[in-house]
Amino acid sequence: MRLDRLLACREYAYHLTNRGNLARIARLKELTSTASLYAAAGEDLGALEVKRAGQRTIVVQGEPVHIRDQDPLHAGNVELNGGWDFARFCLYLNQHVFFWPGTADGPIAYGRNHFGRYEATSEELAFLRIPMAALAEANSPPGPKVCRYNSGSPRCNAGRGSPRGPETFVPVAEFPGIPSEVKEVVFEGTARLPLETTWSSASSGPYLPLAEFEAS
């Protein structure tokens, strides 16, 4: 699949975070994987090989950072391949930064469901919306990888688990499907955020420039 075809179909990328993380994100102009945050905080890296139940808050260079839960990640719904075990897959997820693809009207259905799950709670949220082309350019090379599944919320199909392993995330050029089959866009380690990044306290908007965010 060519990148230009993905960009034509999915013009925007969306990301959900805790509102308390937004000042740090705006200052650094990047999103950081959980694995990198744990390493910077001196946390037990072995915890990255276990499903994270509930949200966690860690301290990175004196600053609290709120880490999203992995509650929908059920080992019984996964069919592992490539010689991986569930611990290796958990670590793999924690090494990436995730975006939902979509249009100006919002993310795909998986992303809308994800947003709705947290909007139903009392948590203060921040939603990021970024032009996909600008995000890809800001992180090239190596550029984004894509996935045909909601990787962190596997579902069984006809009694079989959803496949997961070392090829869960692949470069755009190696994706065997069409753009509308892309369910996630990911970056390993860190995702640099372009100037065009916007944010909102509600998934429906309005979206404002992240560069102008001031913590209250």
Q: Which of 128, 91, 103, 88 is nearest to 12 (CA)?
A: 103
What pLDDT, on the 0 to 100 scale, is given for residue 216?
Answer: 55
Q: Where are the domains positioned within the chain?
A: 3-195
Q: pLDDT tier at 214 (50, 70, 90 boundaries)?
A: confident
Mean pLDDT, the chain, rounded, equals: 97
Is this structure's pTM higher than 0.85? yes
Q: pLDDT tier at 158 (50, 70, 90 boundaries)?
A: confident
Q: pLDDT tier at 197 (50, 70, 90 boundaries)?
A: very high
pLDDT per residue as tens digits for the range 9-22: 999 999 999 999 99
pLDDT per residue as tens digits for the range 109-146: 999 999 999 999 999 999 999 999 999 999 999 999 99
